[in-house]
Amino acid sequence: MKYQKVSGRIISIVGIIFLLYLVLVGKLFYWQIVKAQEIKEIRDRQSTESLELVPERGDILFQDSFPIATNNINYLTYANPKVITDIPLYSNAIASILDYDAASISARLNQDLYWVRLGVFDHETKEKIEDLDLKGIGFQIETSRFYPEASMAAHLVGFVGKNDEGENQGYLGLEGYYDRQLKGKSGKLYVVKDALGNPIVTDVREEKKIDGRSLLTTIDRTVQYIADEALKEGIKKYDAEGGSVIIMESSTGKILGMSSVPKFDPQKYYEYEGSSYQNPAISDLYEPGSTFKVLVMAAALNEGLVKADTKCDICDKPVQMSGFTIKTWNDEYHANSTMTEVIQNSDNTGMVFVGQKLGIGRMVDYLEQFGFGEPTGIDLQAEVSGQIRRDSQWLPIDLATASFGQGISVTPIQLLTAVNSIANNGYLVRPHMVEKIFEGDGEEITIKPENRRKVLSDSAAEVMKWIMVNAVENGDSRWVTLDPIAVAGKTGTAQIPVAGRYDPSQTIASFVGFFPAQRPQVSMLVLVNKPKTSIYGSETAAPIFFSIARDVVRYYDISSE
Amino acid sequence: MKKVYLLALLLFVIVAVGQIVYLAQSNLLASESVRAEEIKSVIEKIEEDNKILESEILSYSSLVVVASRAAEVGFEKPKEYITLKNTNSIALKHE
The per-residue pLDDT for range A184-233, each reduced to its tens digit, is 988 887 777 766 666 665 566 778 889 999 999 999 999 999 999 999 99
Tell me which residue in A71, A200, A221 faces B33 most closely, judged by beta carbons: A200
**pLDDT value of residue A311:** 95
pLDDT in tens, A461-489: 999 999 999 999 998 777 777 778 899 99
A484: preceding bond cis by omega (within 30 degrees): yes
**What is the mean predicted confidence (pLDDT) over A380-408?**
90
Residue B90 falls within a domain, yes or no?
A: no
- In this structure, chain B runs to a length of 95
**pLDDT value of residue A35:** 85
**pLDDT value of residue A390:** 84
Residues A167 and A243 reside in one and the same domain:
no
**pLDDT value of residue A466:** 95
Residue A199 falls within a domain, yes or no?
A: yes
Residues A162 and A94 reside in one and the same domain:
yes
Nearest to A155 by CA among A173, A167, A141: A173
Q: Is A225 on the interface with B (CB under 8 A)?
A: yes
pLDDT in tens, A400-417: 999 999 989 999 999 999
Q: Which residue of chain B comes nearest to A75, CA vs CA?
A: B48
Residues of B in contact with A71 (CB under 8 A): 51
Strands (E), A481-535: 488-498, 501-515, 522-529
Report the alpha-carbon distance of residue A461 to residue A301 in Å, rounded.
8
**pLDDT value of residue B44:** 87
pLDDT in tens, A249-279: 999 999 999 999 999 999 889 889 888 899 9
pTM, two decimals, is 0.83
Residue B37 falls within a domain, yes or no?
A: yes
Residues of A in contact with B51 (CB under 8 A): 71-73
A392 or A149, which is more confident? A149
**What is the mean predicted confidence (pLDDT) over A281-300?**
95
Least confident range of A4-8, A217-221, A252-256, A420-424: A4-8
Q: What is the ipTM of this complex?
A: 0.74
Cβ–Cβ gap A72/B64 under 8 Å: no
Residues A447 and A299 reside in one and the same domain:
yes
Chain B interface disruption, residue of A4, A59, A68, A123, most B CBs within 10 A: A123
Residue B34 falls within a domain, yes or no?
A: yes
Residue A27 falls within a domain, yes or no?
A: no
**pLDDT value of residue A147:** 94
Report the alpha-carbon distance of residue A284 to residue A341 in Å, rounded.
31
Evaluate if residue B83 carries a pLDDT over 60.
Answer: no
Report the alpha-carbon distance of residue A236 to residue A251 in Å, rounded.
33
Range of the domain at B24: 8-71
Residues A211 and A226 reside in one and the same domain:
no
Residue B94 falls within a domain, yes or no?
A: no
Give B24→chain A minimum CA distance, Å.
Answer: 15
**pLDDT value of residue A231:** 96
Residues A394 and A496 reside in one and the same domain:
yes
**Size of the A and B interface in Cβ pairs below 8 Å:** 58
Report the alpha-carbon distance of residue B85 to residue A344 in Å, rounded.
30
| Partners of A493 in the β-ladder | A509
β-bridge pairing A242-249 and A168-171? unpaired
Instruction: Return the half-sphere exposure (C-beta side, CA atoms, 13 A cut-off) of residue A40.
Output: 6
Domains identified in chain A, total number: 2
Residues A121 and A240 reside in one and the same domain:
no
Residue A9 falls within a domain, yes or no?
A: no
Residue B92 falls within a domain, yes or no?
A: no
Find out whether A424 and A371 touch, Cβ atoms under 8 Å.
no
Banded pLDDT at B79 (limits 50, 70, 90):
confident
Residue B13 falls within a domain, yes or no?
A: yes
Residue B58 falls within a domain, yes or no?
A: yes
What is the distance, to the nearest Å, from the Cα of residue A122 to the centroid of all Cα atoms in its chain? Answer: 26
Domain boundary among A175, A193, A217: A217
Residue A28 falls within a domain, yes or no?
A: no
Banded pLDDT at A142 (limits 50, 70, 90):
confident
**pLDDT value of residue A53:** 79
Cβ–Cβ gap B4/A10 under 8 Å: yes
Residues A404 and A461 reside in one and the same domain:
yes
Residues A242 and A211 reside in one and the same domain:
no
**What is the mean predicted confidence (pLDDT) over A10-22?**
86
Q: Is A457 on the interface with B (CB under 8 A)?
A: no
pLDDT in tens, A478-533: 777 777 889 999 999 988 877 777 777 789 999 999 999 999 999 999 999 999 99
Find out whether A220 and A203 touch, Cβ atoms under 8 Å.
no
Residue A2 falls within a domain, yes or no?
A: no
Cβ–Cβ gap B30/A194 under 8 Å: yes
Cβ–Cβ gap B81/A67 under 8 Å: no
Q: Is A555 on the interface with B (CB under 8 A)?
A: no
**pLDDT value of residue A445:** 93
Residues A547 and A399 reside in one and the same domain:
yes
**pLDDT value of residue A203:** 60
Residues A250 and A212 reside in one and the same domain:
no
Report the alpha-carbon distance of residue A323 to residue A279 in Å, rounded.
39
Phi-psi region of A558 (alpha: psi -120 to 50; beta: other; left: phi over 0): beta
Cβ–Cβ gap B64/A150 under 8 Å: yes
CA-to-CA separations, B59 to A68, A143, A155, A216, A417, in angstroms, rounded: 11, 17, 20, 19, 34
Q: Which residue of chain B comes nearest to A199, CA vs CA?
A: B33
Tell me which residue in B32, B48, B61 faces A141 most closely, judged by beta carbons: B48
**pLDDT value of residue A111:** 86
Residues A333 and A205 reside in one and the same domain:
no
Domains identified in chain B, total number: 1
Residues of A in contact with B4 (CB under 8 A): 10
Residue B59 falls within a domain, yes or no?
A: yes
Residue A35 falls within a domain, yes or no?
A: no
| Partners of A188 in the β-ladder | A52, A207
**pLDDT value of residue A480:** 75
Q: What percent of chain A has pLDDT over 70?
A: 96
Range of the domain at A357: 221-268+279-556
Give B17→chain A minimum CA distance, Å.
Answer: 22
Residue A33 falls within a domain, yes or no?
A: no
Residues of A in contact with B81 (CB under 8 A): 550, 554
Q: What percent of chain A has pLDDT over 90?
A: 55
Evaluate if residue B46 carries a pLDDT over 70.
Answer: yes
Evaluate if residue B86 carries a pLDDT over 80.
Answer: no
Which CATH number covers residue A374?
Answer: 3.40.710.10
Report the alpha-carbon distance of residue A478 to residue A295 in Å, rounded.
21
Per DSSP, the three-state class of A416 is helix
Find out whether A68 and A60 touch, Cβ atoms under 8 Å.
yes
Q: Which residue of chain B comes nearest to A146, CA vs CA?
A: B55
**What is the mean predicted confidence (pLDDT) over A306-323?**
91
Residues 6+ apart with CB under 8 A from A276: A262, A263, A264
Report the alpha-carbon distance of residue A313 to residue A337 in Å, rounded.
8
pLDDT in tens, A56-89: 899 999 999 999 999 998 888 888 888 888 888 8
Strands (E), A262-360: 319-321, 324-326
Chain A interface disruption, residue of B39, B58, B85, most A CBs within 10 A: B58
Report the alpha-carbon distance of residue A218 to residue A254 in Å, rounded.
6
Nearest to A242 by CA among A532, A14, A458: A532
The identity of residue A57, as a single letter, is: R
Residues of A in contact with B48 (CB under 8 A): 73, 141
Which CATH number covers residue A157?
Answer: 3.90.1310.10
Residues A423 and A438 reside in one and the same domain:
yes
Give B64→chain A minimum CA distance, Å.
Answer: 6
Give B93→chain A minimum CA distance, Å.
Answer: 29
Cβ–Cβ gap B29/A200 under 8 Å: yes
Residue A475 falls within a domain, yes or no?
A: yes
pLDDT averaged over every residue in chain B: 83
Least confident range of A4-8, A541-545, B85-89: B85-89
Q: What is the DSSP string of A430-482?
A: --BSEEEEE-TTS-EEEPPP-EEEE-S-HHHHHHHHHHHHHHHHHSTTTTS--
pLDDT averaged over every residue in chain A: 89
